[in-house]
Amino acid sequence: MTGEFIFWLVVKSVIIAGIAIFFGLLYKGIDRKIVAHMQGRVGPPIRQPFLDVIKLMSKENIVPKHAIKWLFNAAPLICLASSIMLLLYIPIGGFDAILEGHGDLILILYLFAIPSIAMVAGGFASSSPYAAIGAQREVVTMISYELPLAVVIIAIAWKLSGIEGDVFSMAFIASHPIWQNVGILGLIGAIMLLISMVVVAPGELAKIPFDVAEAETEIAGGLTVEYSGRNLAMLYIADGVKIFAFASLVVALFFPYGIASLLSLNGVASIIADFLFFLLKVFLVMFFAVTLIRAGVARFRITQVVTAYWVTITLIALLGLVLLMWDTHFNVRWL
């Protein structure tokens, strides 16, 4: 790699990180405002996440006396860095992924696990019994939602395997939308896969009803109970970035469409239109996958989390896979 290539890679990565942090925090503010109105409250202003981060950055960073200090301090940084790294492999706003390549979808699945693993490590390193319980719950939750998530990815890749190309490449999937390669049975199956992906989102992002690892009323915040100052700010930012990254992944897998061609736009206008349309799709995914569920469902017990993912959602995803297989045999087109 030449020096110029590395320079532009760094520049693009910084831009992506800035976009992810800004819109991740913005969406968190919008989410809190919408949920407040749905529950009959006024709620904080949309800019509140930005104010929270600024305030946390100015606070003292306290490390527990018996904590493993280097691991305790490294966990938030790893969590934030890995969350940003995710977006380097996901197409955003009509642009190709910065680090696109062969099999990058498999790498994305592993990268999504790193923030959770980092938080688990930080929880255990804090020496807090509340954080230890939260870490154990996070591991169980992570193991639970990985199975239906893997089924969704395998189903999409299997359906597109009849087309020549790398089926585990995000660029390939984005250029061959699943909806244009299925019949009637496949359409139903793809909808089931989308539903499974939407329900996986709250677990992946540690949101209600799958936020058992935090559960403020039970374990006082769980994983983050001992964090403060800059470390807590990094975890807060990483949460927003991960929300943005997961919603972007759902858009890339199921809705990789632009709007510029539909509006007959060219040049800069087409770039702006596609990017704004991408942000709208991300917001809609976040609204249905996080906001609506968070506003209408109470927190599950850890046993309910396992049952929901390993039984209900996995069965829905497997049924979607079976329908895609039948669709290939019957070949009844709907488009």
Q: From the first residue on, what is the mean pLDDT of each consecutive set of 10 residues in the chain (335 residues)?
A: 72 86 90 83 85 86 80 86 87 78 80 85 80 79 84 86 78 82 84 89 77 64 76 87 90 84 78 87 88 77 80 89 78 52
- Both tokens of 21, joined, read 């942090």
Residue tagged 């942000």 (tokens)? 279
Token pair in block for residue 19: 């976009």
CA-nearest of 138, 153, 112, 141 to 307 is 141
For residue 94, the model assigns a pLDDT of 73
Whether the CB-CB separation of 36 and 42 falls below 8 Å is answered with: yes
Task: Report the pLDDT value the prediction gives residue 174, as an integer from 0 to 100.
Answer: 81
- Residue 22 has what pLDDT? 92
Closest by CA position to 212, among listed 111, 308, 80? 308
- The pLDDT of residue 334 is 47
Q: In whole angstroms, how far apart are CA 47 and each of 54, 207, 301?
A: 11, 20, 32
Specify the pLDDT at position 217.
Answer: 62
| Residue type at position 68 | I
- Tally of CB atoms within 10 A around 283: 17
Name, in order, each residue with C-beta under 8 angstroms of 78's C-beta and a sequence gap of 6 or more.
114, 115, 118
